Structure 1
Amino acid sequence: MSIQILNKDHGQSAGKLIKEFAQTLDRKKQRRHELWILSCYIDLDLIEKYVDYLLKSIRLTEVFLAFNFAEIYKAAPIETEDKLNSIKKNLNDININFEWRVLASSKLVHSKGYSLIQRSGDKVSGGVVLITSANFTKPGFKGDNIEIGYASNRKTDVQNFEKTYDYLWENLGVDIGAAIFRQEKYLLQFALLSSGLFLHKWSGSLSQDVGIKYKLTELAKEKGTIAPELAAVGFETGDTFTRQVLQLGDLPQKEVPRSFITRFTIETYWGRWCPSDAWNTLSATFEGAKQFVAQFKEATKKSILSKIKKEALEIQNDLIHKKLIKPVKPEHLDNWILRIQELRNNYRRLERFFTGYEAHDLPYSIEQKSDVIDLFESIEESIELTKATNIAKEKIVFALDDANPDLIRLTDEEKQIIKDMSSSA
């Protein structure tokens, strides 16, 4: 029994502490063990990783997960349920049963606690319980955050945790399904919005994003639209003056088919909403996108960026000395490299340069109720004002009528329509 700091640099993480207690259990390779997870916020990718970690030292037969209802919207209810079902299948394949419940309350279900329960028959024969501030997320559970927790291997504490967990499971637990959405109209609206993406037509250029930006001096401006000395070293005019240094070659480009916009999107004040299934299906047909990203990554390898920085520094110092560009901070080129590295790791943003559209997730959290309602009302207004046949509008109407966000999913036939659109574009 102890109160501990849970941090990888000041003690140990919550995950390691539970495993350390597990090492003290008798017959840990023979008896059944259950992992019980109660957390406000969760990282679903952490579940299988932690199970693998525990399996190195104990026999695990059950995993239970209970978490706050709002977490189903991190991706969208549909994607979250798919992910949970995938975890269940993967764990079942190694003979571990996985069950989950979302906990719904008028307020945040902020509880965090974990238990590893050993059973002999149906009775608790040992285990550990950890009551803590640490959520089941990478920062919280793996020790990046500084958390605190009370750990105990007393059988009565383990049994009390099980009893409390069962109470929350039975009294606050709801399915991610139509029942809860019939009761809560707002939750359904949020679920529908978060089950799609918002498309923004992008009018910028790749060069403006990847160029090294500088401010010109009055002397440079006196030399015309762009001073010959600047044009000679790759400067381009635009909203800002940028120097182009990347050798990107002729990158492929492809426009989103107009028929996709008219049939699978709905106008809102935040952009054109479309079901995630629709955009993902269309994106998969962009064969040139992979080539586009591959070419960009090849042109921005670490060794190439280092060489560019060295050459750019010489040119930069020369232009400052000639009073053609204004002085910059010492880290100016390092910041440019960081920006390029972030861009090369952002597939969706690079895809924007290829397609001419940028796809955004819902910009509001579930707590921003007035913003969410206003945005949903703009979708409803578009549906009422437009008479043309539109698959996205039909999806919204059917989902509202049945109080079921699952109806946003595209059928195989609808996905084929999108594939045919792309191939004929």
Structure 2
Amino acid sequence: MQMTSKTLIEVSQFTWPKGFSADSTHAGFKPDQDDMGWLYSSTPANAAGVYTTNQFQAAPTKLTKQTINLAHQLQAVVMNSGNANSCNGAQGETDALMMQKMTADRLQIDPQLVGIASTGVIGEPLPMDKIKAGISQLKLTQNVGVTKAILTTDTHPKTMTVKCLIDGQEVTTTGFCKGSGMIHPNMATMLGFVTTDAAITGEDLQQLLSTTVDETFNQITVDGDTSTNDMVVVMANGAAGNQPLTKADPDYPTFAAAFKQVLTHLAQEIAGDGEGASKLVEVNVSGAYNHLEGQQVAKAIVGSNLVKAMIFGEDGNWGRIMQAIGQTTAHVDLNGVSVAINDLELVYNSLGTGIDDDKVAATLKQNKVVIDVDLHAGKATGTAWGCDLTYQYVQINASYRS
């Protein structure tokens, strides 16, 4: 396919942008898989981040936020799974700083160019001997193992690469993330990392990330719980050679669309890989009073345990969708709501259509369930993603530490 400035090309094979290296290793947090990794840019990259609003924000998350806020630049991010380094008090903060310094020393860069990320069990001290050993083993390669090294209860890595033309130059944007449980973000998801070789200022990148997160990661939910370690970090090193992007640039919408395509895919991957999930659920709201209310209603439906259980049980009990809508403060035409599941209309003008239960049960067997809702209160829309609630979710979380 010939690429034009108006064409986005989704790349099926994961590809690092120009100037980026990565690696992973087994440091011993987990018995039999890689559990540490890093990202590295050959030059300092402009950076942006969004972070959990949980009051018990973990030490690595706080330090990365402080580091990025200094000058919106990073050159490396080091990460581990198996231990969150959260709720460890002053020792946790000291260990986070040491993890940052050890990485900087290994790469011979300024510590203030190093972000860190941790995920795993909360409240256990970070074993610094394992951190030190892991950092000493990491190399500057094109290894994609880092996409697996951050996983906890995830069943697979979540990755995405999109290429587009900016200022006549091919720009690559790649993202990977982890997230399966404790997902109800108010900023992003568990851990997400996006790299791009586009040239764009840190301030513009931060604005783009914050705006796009609100439309993607902030519109997913698995279990209604917000983690202490949630973070999404973006690094843009400019290696593609385009003129630095600004909002006034005619190619800015193309880059923004490619960026959103990456984050949207990753958000859907997290929703579909919710702990124990058997189905990806997408809710599309139309006829909302404004976009904020459309988003609110969509997330309320996809986050309702009653709706999630209904979908797992393949039961067309549309009343559960109506109660989820009614619990919000959104404007609603109480006599005009319509609801459809996989294009089967269950509700029209707020009344059941009498559709055959067997037809609804059959469509709910699909791996993806799409719920369309029309509030008839305006012209705005909203979308959210989630999953069903299964017996396995309880099994996983009843024995998480083991």
Normalised by the size of structure 2, how large is the TM-score?
A: 0.24
> Over alpha carbons, which structure has the higher Rg?
1
User: Which one has the bigger helix percentage?
Assistant: 1
